[in-house]
Homo-oligomer: A and B are copies of this chain.
């Protein structure tokens, strides 16, 4: 009697990555690592599980509800991290002495949220964050924008815009109007603008924050300035004049655009967008959102900003910083939609057919020689019919197949098949593998 089978299945909201998707994901991770490292950001890692008290109350009520939490074997209350910012705060406070400042780190790791799974969202997803901690310098703000810029180009996007705002502009206006302490209510009203329209927002600002109509209209005016970056700054300046934080904000944003130009980056990739309200409750300075011109509807693919104090719940040491997070899974979906994903289901460019079953050692040696020349090579593991092996190569997406049997070994050559073009070449091995490597590289490059 055989035991009943267990149904092989993943949990709702979770997914497997098959080779095709995982090859694309690994490539994207590699690109992000390369760009982060080129700016001197260093990798860190933290445990998936943290003490519950470290995690709760740090995000929103929503993240608290979504937290995967339980008691471990020692009766400790623990939870799976829901983002990489709270672990960074804990990490920075715990290792502050050893790390020193400025501290530049990146962290690419999964996070877990037990949220509703509609809209193709998953309960486990990868975050890909970089931050500069321990400095208030505008140079770090500028660098954050440059990293986002380089990241998008390195991934293969040319049509993108980094939207920039600064919480200091709004704070400056509110300070000038004498309503700075009501910022929270005002932001909540502003956030509804696209849904309820101007008049209702004015009404709500009056009701919840006690602004009179002219004050509310002035707040709305700031968030709707239009024109070039310089034109918007020129219009914003009088709105914040007399407020220290507002004037400093205009100056920082202006310095940012100036230096991004000086660094040789096309500053039209950055757009001062004073309508960004999302994130302004958390961030205290500059805010970034990045949109793909070809797919604006998927929302920002790289968001971040400056904060005053990263780890106030864990240490009395003030740790200001700035950073952003690449929405890796969202970007993968976007790249798929735009046809920017290669569709290979294999990592090997070359398949060597196992054709003559007495020649395994020869096939293995040839494979090893090609690997020594930086080619990825798979040897089919069984001496099956050639047709079956070529069908396998086709399904997997190998670009080149090498076939050699008795005739080829006798003549010291091999057949090289360009599988995408269904062409075949006979290549001599008399002078080693140079000619073979050259032929394969030509096929791969064409």
> Closest approach, in angstroms, between the C-beta of A16 and any C-beta of chain B?
5
A278 on the B face (CB < 8 A) = no
A435 on the B face (CB < 8 A) = no
Give the complex CA separation of A54 and B8 in angstroms.
7
Say whether, besides A40-B347, A98-B18, A49 and B11 are in contact (CB < 8 Å). Answer: yes
Residues of B within 8 A of A15 (CB): 47
Identify which of A100-108, A219-227, A287-295, A335-343 touches chain B: A100-108
Residues of B within 8 A of A348 (CB): 37-40
B124 and A48 contacting across the interface, CB-CB below 8 Å: yes
Which residue of B40, B48, B99 contacts A48 across the interface (Cβ within 8 Å)?
B48
Which residue of B7, B39, B71, B371 contacts A377 across the interface (Cβ within 8 Å)?
B39
A11 and B371 contacting across the interface, CB-CB below 8 Å: no
Q: Which of chain A's residues 237-267 have a Cβ closer than 8 Å to chain B?
A: 258-265
Give the complex CA separation of A13 and B70 in angstroms.
17
Residues of B within 8 A of A395 (CB): 100
Kindly name the residue among A47, A258, A259 whose own CB sees the greatest number of chain B CB atoms within 10 A. A47
Identify which of A132-140, A185-193, A300-308 touches chain B: A132-140
Which residue of B7, B46, B143 contacts A16 across the interface (Cβ within 8 Å)?
B46
Interface size class of A (residues with CB under 8 A): 35 or more
> Closest approach, in angstroms, between the C-beta of A294 and any C-beta of chain B?
26
A19 and B43 contacting across the interface, CB-CB below 8 Å: yes
Name 16 extra pairs, CB < 8 A, besides A10-B46, A42-B345: A8-B89, A8-B90, A8-B91, A8-B311, A10-B94, A18-B98, A22-B43, A37-B347, A38-B348, A38-B371, A38-B375, A39-B371, A40-B348, A43-B347, A139-B364, A265-B368
- The interface of chain A, by Cβ under 8 A from chain B, is 3, 5-12, 14-19, 22-23, 25-26, 33, 36-51, 53-54, 66, 68-74, 76, 78, 80, 89-91, 93-95, 98-100, 102, 104-105, 110, 112, 114, 124, 132, 135, 137, 139-140, 142-143, 146, 150, 258-265, 311, 313-316, 345-348, 351, 354, 360-362, 364-365, 367-369, 371, 375-382, 392, 395
What 7 A-B pairs have minimum CB-CB distances, sorted nearest first? A262-B361, A40-B378, A40-B348, A70-B70, A19-B42, A263-B364, A14-B47
